[in-house]
Amino acid sequence: KTFIREGLWNSIMDEMKTGDYVFIQFGHNDESKEKTERYTTPEEYKRNLIQFISETKAKKGIPVLLTPVSRRKFDRDGKAMETHKEYSALVTEVAEKEKVLFIDLDQKSRALFQQFGPEDSKWLFLQLQPGEHPNYPEGKNDNTHFSELGARLIAQIVLQELRSIEPELAEKIIIPVKK
């Protein structure tokens, strides 16, 4: 909702060219009922996803729908918990209905967090002690936003999924060579 309201979606559409892939992944802000300025009802959320897909296709682009990446949350038995149940299901439903490329990043990210476990998964997020990082002098306890390591591992998951659902695109992704 805020992505549309702030004109960010229009800026993507303005620059998009035929054959561009558009990765569409929302949900964290949309499902936040406490923050009414950005909360999006499930119906609005689906409508927005369909709008993104339709406008991408109209410009001859290729939409790729991703479920929201999971937040770091474990139950008392150490099992990674689902944190976007309703909105991830909506993304899955829209992807099937609209017949677009789809990555279940919610499920894949939870599996990654489970591999690390409740304690070690903190390394994947902005879990910082006071004085540990200059951007967060007071420290940070954030189970939504990734550290560099977490961001890189999530990107690797997306790349791995792309290799199976869209090999043509995966072949175009280049790993830079360090000189």
131-176 pLDDT, tens digit each = 998 999 999 999 999 999 999 999 999 999 999 999 888 788 877 7
- pLDDT, residue 17, reads 97
Tokens for 172, please give them: 């175009």
- pLDDT, residue 174, reads 77
Tokens for 107, please give them: 């499920």
Q: Tens digit of pLDDT per residue, the chain (179 long)?
A: 888 999 999 999 999 999 999 999 998 877 777 777 788 899 999 999 999 999 999 999 999 999 999 999 999 999 999 999 999 999 999 999 999 999 999 999 999 999 999 999 999 999 999 999 899 999 999 999 999 999 999 999 999 999 999 988 878 887 777 77
Q: Cα(94)–Cα(88) distance, rounded to whole angstroms?
A: 10
Per-residue CA distances from 67 to 23, 41, 55, 136, 147 (Å):
11, 16, 19, 29, 20
- pLDDT, residue 31, reads 78
Percent of the chain with pLDDT over 90: 80
Q: Which residues, including other chains, have CB under 8 Å from residue 3's CB and lie 6 or more apart?
A: 9, 26
Q: Cα(103)–Cα(158) distance, rounded to whole angstroms?
A: 7
- pLDDT, residue 34, reads 77
Q: Cα(155)–Cα(118) distance, rounded to whole angstroms?
A: 21
- pLDDT, residue 38, reads 80
